[in-house]
Chains A and B, each alone.
Chain A
């Protein structure tokens, strides 16, 4: 009970910090706090496997990707900082819409109360609700097709990323020229880094 409220306050605070942070790096820190609190919330909801997945995939993979891109984009070039603030334009309609939608959710939730079902089995047991065994059986038997489709989606994503961000050589299949020794890219923070980044990839 108390854990829920502490986690809820932490999650809302970190989410607000993520959205209002001055620089993307601060947003990443706020998002990390939010994800960890959400994993704890999953534990409270007896979704043990999802809590672990949340930490591993979100905090371990996606956030690291964000940090890498921030480090790549903001090294040497002008500070990758906030743009103009658009909040005044959308403040009142956004608040009105959010209040309306929130009221709709509240009315719906109050009119149709959920009868909470107690899952069978001891919490934390090997095949209890939300454990790895329970999740795996459901994933590989009744939901096998969605799981396969997931693999397909990931493959499409990988191919898409290679096509979008990879070298042109990877797309056209042309052989890569040998890099001349002594003309390596400079990683020094100078304005020239902008130029070497804009050419795309290592210089021949």
Chain B
């Protein structure tokens, strides 16, 4: 490991905050979902980094589980977006307020 784990963790944090910025500022549902994928990947990078640093593959297993959950989340999220868009075409997620009460 020629590069210190701190650099990987810093990169992971930067990617995480870029993803958070995407979720918070963008109002296009698809780009918001993609930003959530960025968050998942940033967390995965941290897990794999510490797995390598401690030579313990439990981090790999957990990253694998995160990838699986991300796949399920993407499938369900995109299905919700598609169904909602089918009813009322929208561009801004704030337009979708049927469940607001």
Contact = CB atoms under 8 A, between A and B. Distances in A.
A62 interface: yes
A35 B34 contact: no
Interface size class of A (residues with CB under 8 A): 35 or more
A139 B68 contact: no
Interface residues of B, number: 75
Nearest to A62: B74
B97 interface: no
Contact of B82 (A8, A72, A86, A154): A72
- Dominant SS among interface residues on chain B: helix
A185 to B, nearest CB: 13
B2 A12 contact: no
A157 B75 contact: yes
Contact of B55 (A31, A70, A118): A118
Contacts of A69: 30, 78, 81-82
19 contacts: A18-B22, A21-B31, A24-B31, A34-B41, A41-B45, A62-B71, A77-B89, A86-B25, A98-B20, A114-B53, A119-B52, A129-B52, A130-B57, A135-B60, A154-B72, A164-B76, A164-B83, A165-B82, A200-B86
User: Nearest 4 CB-CB pairs, A to B?
Assistant: A157-B72, A83-B27, A19-B22, A83-B92
